[in-house]
Structure 1
Amino acid sequence: MTKKVLPLTIGLLAISFLRAQEISPSPSASATPARAVRISFVPPPLEGKVSLGVYNEWGQLVRVLHQEAEFDEFTIGADALSTKWDGKDDYDYDLPAGKYSARGFLVAPMKIEQISQTDEAVFIDPAPPVRIKLVANPLENNERPTIDLVAGYDDDSTYIQTLDGLPLVTVSKLDKSSEVAVVLDLERDKSLNMLVRTAVTREFRITGITKMMAFDCGQFELK
């Protein structure tokens, strides 16, 4: 009796093992290792907030890394501030390996005031970029740089941004209107005027916009 039971038991175990292999899912491929690039810079000698972008080798903005950030949002080293970039764009997609660069602006506090509001429908014409000459950054030994600014907005707010899309200064909060239009103009006294049209049309005056310093973090390799 024992001799008959033993082969039968071994056979059943073998069948169970083969079935388990068929049912068990194969191991999944290991996840792609996280890519992290350390970006550091010496902040310009100016009180304010930092907006920092990552650019591809063609000079296109691919990631807004920091928008109006305080210094304590960075890692503070002995002689520089640093941050990390995960190699993704603004839509959370991995970017291809290659050469990238980072640069940004330190923006001093400025005065933003609403000067009018109307319930009447106001047609807003597209306007050319506003060209502004900034304060020179003494750490980079360059002349006063010139940048082009335009109005921008997202789901939550309107802001002044560079022509390539880096937000610099929040101007107003937005309601949940389905239609938004914004435009930026330069006044004779060097202040900026922004019209924001949602359910109502509001007008804002921004003064002190030239109190910004540009800085460059240099080029780096994404692997």
Structure 2
Amino acid sequence: MTIKTNTTILTTLLASIALAQESPTPTPSAIIEGSPVSSISPTESVTPQPSPEQTPSASPARNVRISFVPPPLEGRISLGIYDTQGKLVRVLHHEADLREFTIGADALVTQWDGKNDNGEDLPAGKYYARGYLVGPVKVEDVSQAATAPPENNSNASVKVKLMPNPLANDTRALVGLTAGFDNNGSYLKTNDGLPLFTISKSANSSRVSIAKKGDKSVEICQTDAAGFHQFRISNVDQMMAFDCGEFELK
């Protein structure tokens, strides 16, 4: 009985020693709450933030001030811009009344925005402005007297002697004239393309031609949707040329 009791006590004591020698289980540390920290793996790429689109700024104003003294003649003004090669690059005014210009102290004033007839910016450089004042030109429809349409000669031109401009020493005593047309009708123009005055407002023209009839008259033959027309233009010499000089486009 004594041996059995001692064995039980020894077994209990050894078990207690074994438990004391074992490593204690670590107590989990408290989790401190705070802002979560995001991590990016090396294989992940950061998507760049798109930069705001740059709105192109408007091109600076390139207005050129043009002034001139009008010839002493009642009528309407056609004014063109030319490059250094003499090419017409812009029809600035066509059959304009004097009231369409700004009246300066001693001249009429207008503005050019540096663009051509298509609204495109022209390169910087030297340009010239010149035009014509067209007086009391008379247009008559003489289609009933015409026998038949003439041969197609739309490239023809005639020479007309201008009235001298007493305010300028203009060497253009003669001007080459031809006929043209667009969706708005037909018109008389210079050989370099400056429209001078309207002949007819008939739309859908297919061809026009010009022929000289004396020193002061020309005849225009026109074919359009309504048929064949012939116009006589009298007093075509009642025109004066003027020059606005040279200027620099920046």
What TM bracket, shorter-length normalisation?
Answer: 0.7 to 0.9
Q: Equivalent residues in 2 for 1:6-25 (5 A)?
A: 22-23=49-50, 25=52
Aligned alpha-carbon RMSD (Å): 2.5
Distance 1:124 1:26, change over 3 A: same
Matched, 1:4 2:4: no
Count of paired positions: 211
1:46 to 55, 66, 73: 73
Q: TM-score, normalised by structure 1?
A: 0.86
Question: Would you say the 8 A contact 1:124–1:181 is kept in 2?
Answer: no
Mapped partners of 1:149, 1:53: distance in 2: 15
Report the equivalent of 2:239: 212
How far does residue 4 in structure 1 lie from its aligned partner after superposition?
1.7
How far does residue 168 in structure 1 lie from its aligned partner after superposition?
0.3
Matched, 1:27 2:54: yes
Divergent runs of 4+, >4 A: none
Q: Relative to total residues, which structure has the larger strand share, 1 or 2?
A: 1
How far does residue 26 in structure 1 lie from its aligned partner after superposition?
2.3
Question: Would you say the 8 A contact 2:149–2:221 is kept in 1?
Answer: no
How far does residue 28 in structure 1 lie from its aligned partner after superposition?
2.1
Q: Which amino acid aligns with 1:197?
A: T
Q: Which amino acid aligns with 2:194?
A: L
Report the equivalent of 1:14: none
Q: Which amino acid aligns with 2:175?
A: I
1:86 to 102, 109, 113: 113
How far does residue 27 in structure 1 lie from its aligned partner after superposition?
2.0
Report the equivalent of 1:184: 210
Q: Give unmatched runs, 5+ long, in structure 2.
A: 1-30, 38-45
User: Which of structures 1 and 2 has the bigger CA Rg?
Assistant: 2
Question: Would you say the 8 A contact 2:150–2:221 is kept in 1?
Answer: no
2:185 to 157, 162, 165: 157
Question: Would you say the 8 A contact 1:51–1:166 is kept in 2?
Answer: yes
TM-superposition CA deviations, 1:131-158 (whole Å, max 9, x none)? 0000000001346710100001111010
- 3-state secondary structure, aligned to 1:159: strand
TM-superposition CA deviations, 1:35-60 (whole Å, max 9, x none)? 10000000000000000000000111
How far does residue 3 in structure 1 lie from its aligned partner after superposition?
6.8
Report the equivalent of 1:65: 92
Mapped partners of 2:114, 2:212: distance in 1: 36
